Structure 1
Amino acid sequence: MKTAYSKTFLWCSLLAVSVLCSGCAGTSRLVDLSPERKGFVKELIQTDTFNITVFSRITGPGMPITVYIEGDGRAWIKKRRLSGDPTPRNTLVFDLAAMDPAKNVVYMARPCQYTPREEEPLYDPVYWSSERFSEPVIVSADQVIDRLKKRTGAENIDLIGYSGGGAVAVLVAARRNDISSIRTIAGNLDHEEVNRYHKASRLNGSLNPIDLSEKVAGIPQNHFTGDKDKTVPPSIAERFIDSMPRDNRAQEISVKGCTHHKGWRENWPGLLKTPFK
């Protein structure tokens, strides 16, 4: 179902994948989220695979947690050169999390983002390129949620993922039974199709959300797409939803004027209030 909303991607073989990463860029030395000014606390959560940086604002113990999952970050410096640090320059996802009025909000970085190299044994560009959605990556996100739930006493989780973070959200939801809702923003819900669109090589070693669409079909989902997005076009969300059973709970919501990176801050307060199907 598509709803109109009136307001506002080794090495050479993965060359065109860089299209997906330009503009989601930076290093942990260049970006200062100043989390304390927005009521967030920064910490490093150890999992069986990665040490994940999270920023959390917990004011309602026992209440649901809304988890924002970062995009692919600065995976590439140039078309033929992978970044040595995938930390995003653009603080879009953190900014959206800071706008969320929910009692418990967590911003979850992706592996190696905001994490000092010396504190991450698995610091390897493969995890922000061809294996960005691999089993170890999804396991780490899944375990972060487990630790957050145990600490806060929360029973349910709402997932919100931007770009590649949308893929992680779906892949995590497919293995859990406590996800109340999924929202994606310009979500990469079928990386094989996205790579075909950009004439890029496949992400060998990565799981693909669309392969698990039936497992999450019963979860309320709003997939927000920008009608000006040339990185992850709206057709990706449409294809994802079309792969589900007809009685699915997912809908695409097209946001007028939004590109892959621009227009989301202005529209987010209203989009958060959009009812689920």
Structure 2
Amino acid sequence: MLVGWVLAACAGVPSPEDRSAAMRAMAKAADWRVQAVSGGDFSLLVSYPAGLTSAQTLAVYVEGDGFAWVTSSSPSLDPTPITPMGLKLAVQDARPAVYLGRPCQYVRTGGSRDCGRKYWTSHRFAPEVVSATHTALDRLKAHFKVQQFELVGYSGGAAVAALVAARRTDVARLVTVAGNLDHATWTRDLRLSPLSGSLNPADAWQSLARLPQVHFVGGQDRVIGKKVAPAYLRRFPAGSDVRLIQKAAFDHACCWAENWPDLLQEVSR
């Protein structure tokens, strides 16, 4: 009965293969290449402009949690995003940019660690997940001869981007969109199960205090809620270069991609 209920809940959701094909079609339409890169424990999907060969500063867009849950109590069998919001943002960036998927999205084999469902539920920001992204950045840095990164994280990708930035000295700026920057506040506020196997970006504030940051928040975002970003910002001392930009009419999905070129102008101000 449980299997039948989950399958019914999934009715109408594209298969992982179809979701991956849709992402590849989106990348192809923008003349972006798609490949897998080793992140040590996991293989991660990357996409980048076909003509990109080197970049002094590389913007890396880290995808959100994807299709992590079928219902509020049933995790999905595959977290590959239905809508790759990170890619929708990345392809609009006129600067050298790369899209980076999360562990177990698009690529289920090739790493040394099995893609258990904990990696898109309780352990979505686990140390091994952060390490995989950190390693992938090292490979991108060597391949594209990068001097510094700007990390852009969407939703749960914001947490991963922040945790990776806390480990590195070559990140020039952290930008997040509808980001889960304090999952302890998030789970408590929305009465969700704690992310018991995950690191919390808010706890890394001391390593992030040196870093310029811009955090976009939607005034109608019920997925992350209104308390998460302020709780994160309260960790930082007065005078820190950490900006919160709220868009009153936006929610978790709308209308970031539609307005991304203009929002990037706000980041640079």
What is residue 28 of structure 1 aligned with on the other side? Answer: 16
Write the distance in 1 (CA, Å) between the matches of 2:88 and 2:238.
35
Q: Distance in 1 between matches of 2:165 and 2:14?
A: 28
1:64 counterpart residue number: 57
Give the aligned partner of residue 240 of structure 2: 248
| 1:27, distance to aligned residue in structure 2 (A) | 4.6
What does residue 260 of structure 1 align with? 252
> In 2, Cα distance between the equivalents of 1:60 and 1:231?
37
Deviation at 1:77, TM superposition (A): 1.3
Q: CA deviation at 1:239?
A: 1.5
In structure 2, stretches of 5+ residues that fail to align are: 1-9
1:188 alignment partner AA: N
Give the aligned length. Answer: 252
Correspondence 1:59-138 to 2 at 5 A: 59=52, 61-102=54-95, 104-115=96-107, 117-120=108-111, 121-138=113-130
Comparing 220-229 and 235-244, the one that deviates more: 235-244
Distance 1:45 1:109 in 2: 10
Contact 2:151 2:171 in 1 (8 A): yes
Segment drifting more, 104-113 vs 233-242: 233-242
Structure 2 CA distance, aligned partners of 1:27 and 1:171?
30
Q: Does 1:194 align with 2:186?
A: yes
The whole-number CA distance in structure 2 between the counterparts of 1:140 and 1:38 is 27
What SS is found at the alignment partner of 2:91? helix
> Does residue 212 of the first structure (1) align with residue 204 of the second (2)?
yes
Structure 1 position 60, deviation (Å): 5.5
CA contact (8 A) 1:180 1:219 kept: yes
Q: 1:276 & 1:241 partners in 2: Cα distance? A: 20
What is the aligned partner in structure 2 of residue 162 from structure 1?
154
- Checking the alignment, whether the CA contact within 8 Å between 1:49 and 1:140 is kept in structure 2 is yes
**Does structure 2 retain, via aligned residues, the 8 Å contact 1:26–1:74?**
no
Which of residues 222, 225, 233 in structure 2 aligns to 1:230?
Answer: 222
* Match of residue 4 from structure 1: none
Query: Over residues 145-177 of structure 1, what are the superposed CA-to-partner deviations in whole Å (9 max), with x where a residue is unaligned?
Result: 100010111100000001100000110000000
Q: Could you say if the C-alpha distance between residues 26 and 192 of structure 1 is closer, same or farther in structure 2, counting changes exceeding 3 Å?
A: farther
User: Partners of 2:255 and 2:124 in 1: how far apart?
Assistant: 26
Q: Structure 2 CA distance, aligned partners of 1:227 and 1:276?
A: 22
- Equivalent-residue separation in structure 2 for 1:186 and 1:79 (angstroms): 19
Moved more, 80-89 or 137-146: 80-89
TM-score, reference length from structure 2: 0.89
**Matches of 2:33 and 2:210 in 1, distance apart?**
33
Asked whether 1:147 is paired with 2:157, we answer no
Q: What CA deviation, in whole Å up to 9, does each residue of 1:14-65 have, x standing for no partner?
A: xxxxxxxx9xx86531221211221211111112210111111253614211
Residue number in structure 2 paired with 1:3: none
Which deviates further from its counterpart, 118-127 or 152-161? 118-127
Q: Which amino acid aligns with 2:81?
A: P
Relative to structure 2, which stretch is displaced further, 106-115 or 88-97? 88-97
Say if 2:185 and 2:231, in contact at 8 Å, map to a contact too: no
User: Contact 1:27–1:87 (CA<8 Å) still a contact in 2?
Assistant: no
Return the letter of the residue paired with 1:197.
D
Look up the match of 1:9. none
CA gap of 1:82–1:270, structure 2 versus 1, over 3 A, is: same
**Structure 1 SS opposite 2:16:** coil
Identical-pair percentage: 34
Residue 139 of structure 1, CA deviation: 0.3
SS of 1:225 mapped into structure 2 = strand
Give TM-score scaled by structure 1 length: 0.86
More relative contact order, 1 or 2 (CA 8 Å, 6+ apart): 1
Q: Work out the CA distance in 2 between the residues paired with 1:247 and 1:60.
A: 38
